[in-house]
Every structure is written in structure tokens, then in C-alpha cells.
């Protein structure tokens, strides 16, 4: 069985990794290890959102997420003339912004919520 909460394989009534019950499982026929946490960035969502709102035209949120190249472009063009700035704020707020490794910067990553 595989845990729906953390994606780890386990046997018994409870997942030893996260404590989810055996009712919250699925069977994976290919037995591929799935770790749902690997798709999320280590960057804090709230920090990224605040940086994008306050300093988004300068690309500071992109530097914070490791996107140095596009951060420089944002800095030189004023957030792509404001259009990229607006798109980034909305994308981050919706939880669809990705860091340099392609991992999602999600609300679940914030330390406050």
C-alpha cells in the first residue's frame, strides 16, 4: 500500500512516516516510489508573495527563487513593463509559481500557515 498523504509505501494500519490510516491508501501496480513533497519548493510562499508585491518590478522574488536570469530581465525592464509583474503576483498567489528547479512554491510551504 502507498500512503495518499506522503506517498510512502507501508504495511499495517498506519503509515510510519506520517501516521495516516490504512484507509487513506492506494495500490500502485508498478511499485514506483512517489514522494509528493518532492514537487514543492523549499522557498517560502508568503515571502515570495510579499517580495513580488513590494519589489516585483525589480525582480527580487525571482532572485529569491533562484531565477537569476529572469530576475535580471525583470530588473532591467521594470517587471517586463509591468505585465510580467502582474502575471507573477497572480501566479504566486494562486500557488502556480515555480522555482529554479521547477518545483512549485505553494502556500503549504509557508511557516505561518
pLDDT score at 107: 81
If we measure between CA atoms, which residue out of 105, 94, 100 comes closest to residue 44?
105
For residue 39, name the pLDDT band (cuts at 50, 70, 90).
confident
| Residue 30 clears pLDDT 80, i.e. is over it | no
User: Average pLDDT for residues 40-62, to the nearest whole number?
Assistant: 93
CB atoms within 10 A of CB 59: 28
The reported pTM is: 0.63
If we measure between CA atoms, which residue out of 47, 56, 49, 48 comes closest to residue 86?
56
For residue 109, name the pLDDT band (cuts at 50, 70, 90).
low
Lowest pLDDT segment from 15-19, 33-37, 87-91: 33-37
Higher pLDDT, 110 or 8: 8
Amino acid at each position: 500500500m502507498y500512503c495518499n498523504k506522503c506517498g510512502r509505501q507501508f504495511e499495517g494500519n498506519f503509515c510510519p512516516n506520517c501516521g495516516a490510516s490504512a484507509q487513506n491508501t492506494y495500490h500502485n501496480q508498478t511499485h514506483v516510489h512517489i514522494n509528493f513533497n518532492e514537487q514543492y519548493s523549499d522557498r517560502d510562499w508568503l515571502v515570495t508573495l510579499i517580495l513580488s508585491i513590494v519589489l516585483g518590478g525589480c525582480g527580487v522574488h525571482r532572485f529569491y527563487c533562484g531565477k537569476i536570469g529572469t530576475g535580471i530581465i525583470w530588473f532591467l525592464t521594470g517587471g517586463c513593463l509591468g505585465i510580467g509583474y502582474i502575471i507573477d503576483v497572480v501566479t504566486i498567489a494562486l500557488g502556480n509559481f515555480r522555482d529554479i528547479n521547477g518545483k512549485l512554491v505553494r502556500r503549504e510551504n509557508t511557516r505561518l500557515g
